[in-house]
Structure 1
């Protein structure tokens, strides 16, 4: 069965003096328009560049992490057709649209592109109260576990991944996308539908930890974030503000704790 997240191109491969005509697998990139129907009205919310697949999860996760909806049961139906995901809300549900208002295309590398003003980049966040304690020993194994399950990355080398993990070191859900923010939205959308208790899990990122990813985790109530790459300055600042344990450079048997050491059993 073909994977919609993988495309193919005819290429010329040059190795030293050897020239070969062959085919190469590429990470597919296509636009997705997210539309919202509520109280008899339909409007376009955003267009994001993403890897095709799990589009219903992406749309639901996006609405949730942007603060437009607060629970999955607020959704009546999600209909996908031809790169358009239309979410119809239950009767009587009024979405909080102002924080997410966007004016133009969000590319694959940007999770806050298109916001209309500076204040609009912040979604409503409540600090999560949790008793989670993550053993440091299980953190070292997480990148290899994630890498071992990145099926599309194995074929293309061009995708980011995000996963939920528990305190026993198990990966519960894994999602890949050409946009790191889309991978997180897909992941959160899948877990939201299953009504998983976000406060009991950590978020694992295959790359760097930028502000937009910290915020999405904070909206969901995820208390621990571990990234293989580096965090940004604003990511660290908001992790402190929202009391999220933030770990960076999780690789090669080491990691840095930028905030929230009390949630890590060293």
Structure 2
């Protein structure tokens, strides 16, 4: 299998399709014209030959997605427990074939669920309400973030949405350094998938990715809070709002949750002690 750090190197236009559309503007129905539409494909994560989950996703950065999903769903505790990955076409979409350690594969079989999701839905396929919410070790309070540096990150977030710029159809998730610089980011038609891609990338990067925060272009749902906490992320910034369950989970697991992030303002939902201001 390929090394887990290998990436699919493709042009941004490989993730869009040109279609003939009709644009309406007030009092003017224009002639059909070509425009770009974001690709959305079924992506199956296959562990040691067994398909575990199918998610709808943008067909890029899929090894990062598989790594992030495996960590944020508690399938593995460390990237070292995945020995390799291959992204291969299947009859209806794509498969990420994952070589998982024997110990982790035994645990996966014991709790396996068939999760055929809508676009990046983190709950689809869960059989019982009790299955919603995983035990998360409370996060330490090991870092702070100066909110004055957030403006720089917000200004450049869409730099990591090349497909979104063409189609207006993707979410972004990026890693914000304490300085406000964005170390890297990923996009996807599904907000949970975009975050998983970021978490998978972070797990395979160096120490410089240990400090900082996650920034997402969407709202903050409880799944996104839980995924972040499972991967040791202490601070989550969201451009839009947070749900009540997201706030409750963030409070319980010691995650600093911040929503409505705009230049010069933000709403701090939980654990403000990590945040400082100029």
Give the alignment's TM-score, normalised by structure 2: 0.88
The aligned residue for residue 37 of structure 2 is 26
Q: Report 1:1-266 matches (<5 A).
A: 1=11, 3-15=13-25, 16-17=27-28, 19-37=30-48, 42-82=49-89, 83-94=94-105, 96-97=107-108, 101-194=112-205, 196=207, 199-266=210-277
* Kept in 2: contact 1:65–1:123 (CA 8 A): no
| Residue 55 of structure 1: how far off its partner (Å) | 1.0
| Residue 128 of structure 1: how far off its partner (Å) | 2.3
| Residue 31 of structure 1: how far off its partner (Å) | 0.3
Alpha-carbon distance change, 56 to 100 in structure 1, aligned in 2, over 3 angstroms: farther
| Residue 63 of structure 1: how far off its partner (Å) | 1.0
Query: Structure 1 CA distance, aligned partners of 2:254 and 2:155?
Result: 27
Query: Structure 2 CA distance, aligned partners of 1:71 and 1:3?
Result: 33
* Kept in 1: contact 2:151–2:180 (CA 8 A): no
Q: Structure 1: 5+ residue runs without aligned partners? A: none
The aligned residue for residue 4 of structure 2 is none
Q: Please, which moves more after superposition, 84-93 or 96-105?
A: 96-105
Q: 3-state DSSP class of the match of 1:68?
A: coil
Query: Structure 1 CA distance, aligned partners of 2:109 and 2:131?
Result: 8
| Residue 201 of structure 1: how far off its partner (Å) | 2.1
Alpha-carbon distance change, 120 to 100 in structure 1, aligned in 2, over 3 angstroms: farther
* Kept in 2: contact 1:67–1:100 (CA 8 A): no
* Kept in 2: contact 1:99–1:121 (CA 8 A): no
Alpha-carbon distance change, 66 to 92 in structure 1, aligned in 2, over 3 angstroms: closer
Query: Structure 2 CA distance, aligned partners of 1:139 and 1:49?
Result: 31
Alpha-carbon distance change, 99 to 207 in structure 1, aligned in 2, over 3 angstroms: farther
Q: Structure 2: 5+ residue runs without aligned partners? A: 1-10
Map Cα deviations across residues 13-71 of structure 1 (whole Å, 9 max, x no partner): 3343352231111111110011101xxxx311100000111111111111111000111
* Kept in 2: contact 1:198–1:220 (CA 8 A): no
Q: 3-state DSSP class of the match of 2:123?
A: coil
* Kept in 1: contact 2:160–2:187 (CA 8 A): no
Please tell me the root mean square deviation across aligned C-alpha atoms, in Å.
2.0
Query: Structure 2 CA distance, aligned partners of 1:44 and 1:239?
Result: 31
Q: 3-state DSSP class of the match of 2:60?
A: coil
Alpha-carbon distance change, 196 to 213 in structure 1, aligned in 2, over 3 angstroms: farther
